[in-house]
Amino acid sequence: MSARRGTLGLAAGLWLGLGACGEPTHADAVRKTIGPEGGLITSHDGVLTIVLLPGALSSEVEVEVFPSDEPPPIFGLTYRVRPDIELMFDAQVSYHRVLPSNPNAATIGAIHLDDYTGEMGYWRPLPRLSLDVEEQLVTATDDELALYYGLLEDADAPPLPTGGNDDTPPPDDTTGSESVTTGDETTMPGTTAVDPSTSGPSESTGGPMTTATTATTMTTAGTTDEGGESSSGGMMMAVCGDGMPVVGELCLVAGADYATGLDPIDVAVGAFDGVAGLDVVTLDAGALELGLLSGNGNGTLQAPVTAAALGGMPVEMVAGDMTGDGVPDVAVLDTAADAVGLLVGDGMGGFAAPVNTVAGVGVVDLDIGAFNGDAAQDVGVLLGTDQTLQLLLGGPGMLTLGGVTGVNAGVNATVAIGDYNGAFDMFDDIMGLGPGGFHAWATNGTGLGFLGAVANAFGGGGTFVELVAGDVNGDGNDDVAAIDIAGDTMVVGLSTGGPASFNFQPPVAVGTDPSDIVLYDLDGDGDAEAVVCNAGSNDVMVLDWNGAAYVLAFTFPAGMGPSGVAVGELDGDGVPDVVVSSAGSDTVTVLVSDP
């Protein structure tokens, strides 16, 4: 653990306000339970991220992060963290925001419990681990969870070096060794020079190392191993595979393929069997069953079992707690019955027989969200024949009909639930998409009504087969992404902050016949990666947001006709993994995180 407790002459002084320990729960608080396996937590706005390494905690702890104005103003936002506890291994603390005019002056400060109770209250600079000017990201280490974290500015810090010569002074004398990324060049003091065209090091210089790379940070260089193909053609910095998750480090390797039931057209990840580690469920349309592959907690899966029998014509599913009992359930869209069947989970790997709720005529897609503020998650359904959006409200044992509203002609392909009204309330909104564009409705918090609608074109149009919502660029607003099977592209709309208002980006090429997409922050930097499976090219792509656009990071082979993709932490390292179902080969493929 780091023992450094030095204090710089920084812009923040003494703080004697002792009322903060009694702060109530904050509206923007983010809470996450993290155990000995490690994990990360990110503030609601994506600015602060704390990574706890495996072994840092001896037991499960609920960690909470929220913005606070209690300490004196510093350079940017201050965040309160609960609890303040010692760690077995240093945490990695990162700030992702605009840096001062001299980026080298940026350092993360902390107010720890011992200073707080001793009425000292000084911001203490933490040992800086890395500085990425292009990504506006600074990372430090801390041997405990502090009461407060803030971004400080050291007025005495020298400017960043402009080159990598051996006689260049180090960028910051407050730490031992750090990486500084300023653009296309990564400089690391006191390391070994490496030729990126070879597999090993050349001579030791004793001074700075300069490695040309097209990656934006030293930990996200596009690369692969074990079956993936790199999009950057550059080298992988020696960080992935060391077992230490770092913010911005995108590391995946091919895991294994597992047999499933017949025709697994969809897949989900969750804690279905009550045993440590997440599990995988598959919608086996050819076998008319819900299949369960229990996780072993190390990234591997057990042999499939039939968790429940299905009827009708199942085409898609969502997983979540739709009964409010804290146990995950599954809802299946049945086009033969024009219904959604709720399969109530028992928490031990079993599910009750589906209880159908007829949604209307011509069901085409569903998604899961929260429309009325109770403990049970709800479902939204798009109906092509009726040209409606139907809300189904979760509750004990079944889904019940909620509000229904019409959509424009041609909005008949796919639906996604998110926060589109710019109000940042606790209630989700719903959007339908098709060749006629998109039609989005804000919900009123009861699950029975709507506040208003926005309809518009979705980029340049396309033959869209899947729509998802998520915070693509880390600004706190829900953005949207859809895959176009005719153009083999992904279209992304970035929220402007107004009601269902988006700036659409140029289409991004994906594989042949894309079939499913997930937006998920795989590397903890606050931005969402896009994971797309492609039924025609039999692969899965991971695209990383670089601050302005999506760029391809990985392409991995999958089975025949990949049909569904899901994300969840399967191997106990605290970093998400990826699961792909392939209907043509009756398999699921696991891509394992390798920090």
Residue at 341 is within a domain = yes
Q: What is the pLDDT of residue 20?
A: 36
At CB < 8 A and 24+ separation, what contacts does 164-172 make? 164/208, 164/209, 164/210, 165/207, 165/208, 166/205, 166/206, 166/207, 166/208, 167/207, 168/208, 171/104, 171/131, 172/104, 172/107, 172/128, 172/131
pTM of the model: 0.67
Question: Are 199 and 268 members of one domain?
Answer: no
Residue at 102 is within a domain = yes
- CATH code for position 24: 2.60.220.30
Question: Are 257 and 131 members of one domain?
Answer: no
DSSP characters for 385-404?
A: TTTEEEEEE--TTS-EEEEE
Report, as ranges of residue numbers, the positions in the chain whose pLDDT lies below 70. Answer: 1-26, 71-76, 115-121, 162-238, 423-424
What distance in Å separates the CA atoms of residue 51 and residue 137, rounded to the nearest whole number? Answer: 14
Q: What is the pLDDT of residue 135?
A: 81
Pair of tokens at residue 516: 């499913």
Residue at 244 is within a domain = no
For residue 590, the SS3 value is strand
CB 549 within 8 A of CB 526: no
- Domain total in the chain: 2
Residue at 220 is within a domain = no
Residue at 208 is within a domain = yes
Q: What is the dihedral of CA 141, 143, 145, 146, to 10 degrees?
A: -80
- Taking alpha carbons only, the member of 243, 180, 234 closest to residue 210 is 180
Question: Are 388 and 312 members of one domain?
Answer: yes
- CATH code for position 567: 2.130.10.130
Q: What is the pLDDT of residue 142?
A: 94
Q: Which residue's structure tokens are 């607003």?
A: 477
Domain, as residue range, for 440: 252-593
CB 579 within 8 A of CB 566: yes
Question: Are 415 and 521 members of one domain?
Answer: yes
Question: Are 33 and 108 members of one domain?
Answer: yes
Question: Are 348 and 465 members of one domain?
Answer: yes
